[in-house]
């Protein structure tokens, strides 16, 4: 379970992202990394709920992962090598979450857990590259 403080922080961050009408601009490394962190938190929650047999939560969190991955892809700086390396992993996360969405929340959660785990793995790999963006001086 997520601590109350962490849940509050995540809710606040998601609220800010949802309300914000101003898109993240390419080159805003911190904003991209923050969005990646939220994506990864959703991916972890998705798999945790899958382990508890909560199909609706798997579908919900996977939709969030896909939405955040798409948003990151739109704003990745084109010249950043780490961003280029993150892109295929973000695309994989979206692909696996699309599969989860197609399966829906009425299937056995064990069935949707396989693509959910693959989406989490892709999100983790993407986050490694997104985190490295800061180190590149971009």
User: What pLDDT, on a 0 to 100 scale, did the predictor assign at position 41?
Assistant: 97
Looking at the domain assignment, is residue 13 inside a domain? no
Give the residue numbers spanning the domain of 95: 27-135
Place of tokens 């064990």: 110
Looking at the domain assignment, is residue 55 inside a domain? yes
Q: What is the mean pLDDT of residues 115-135?
A: 93
Indicate if the pLDDT at residue 3 is higher than 80. Answer: no
Looking at the domain assignment, is residue 81 inside a domain? yes
Residue 111: give its domain's CATH number: 1.20.120
Looking at the domain assignment, is residue 11 inside a domain? no
pTM: 0.78
Q: What is the residue-averaged pLDDT of the chain?
A: 83
Looking at the domain assignment, is residue 12 inside a domain? no
* Per-residue pLDDT reduced to its tens digit, 8-37: 444 444 444 443 333 444 448 999 999 999
Looking at the domain assignment, is residue 19 inside a domain? no
User: What pLDDT, on a 0 to 100 scale, did the predictor assign at position 11?
Assistant: 47
Looking at the domain assignment, is residue 1 inside a domain? no
Report the domain count for the chain. Answer: 1
Indicate if the pLDDT at residue 109 is higher than 90. Answer: no
Indicate if the pLDDT at residue 116 is higher than 50. Answer: yes
* Per-residue pLDDT reduced to its tens digit, 36-46: 999 999 999 99
Looking at the domain assignment, is residue 74 inside a domain? yes
Indicate if the pLDDT at residue 75 is higher than 90. Answer: yes
């Amino acid at each position: 379970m997520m601590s109350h403080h962490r849940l509050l922080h995540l809710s606040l961050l998601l609220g800010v992202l949802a309300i914000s009408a101003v898109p993240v601009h390419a080159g805003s490394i911190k904003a991209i990394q923050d969005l990646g962190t939220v994506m990864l938190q959703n991916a972890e929650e998705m798999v945790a709920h899958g382990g508890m047999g909560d199909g609706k939560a798997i579908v919900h969190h996977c939709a969030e992962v896909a939405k955040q991955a798409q948003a990151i892809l739109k704003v990745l700086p084109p010249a950043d090598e780490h961003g280029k390396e993150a892109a295929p992993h973000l695309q994989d996360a979206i692909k696996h979450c699309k599969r989860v969405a197609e399966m829906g929340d009425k299937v056995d959660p064990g069935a949707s857990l396989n693509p959910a785990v693959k989406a989490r793995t892709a999100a983790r790999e993407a986050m490694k590259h997104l985190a490295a963006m800061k180190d590149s001086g971009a």
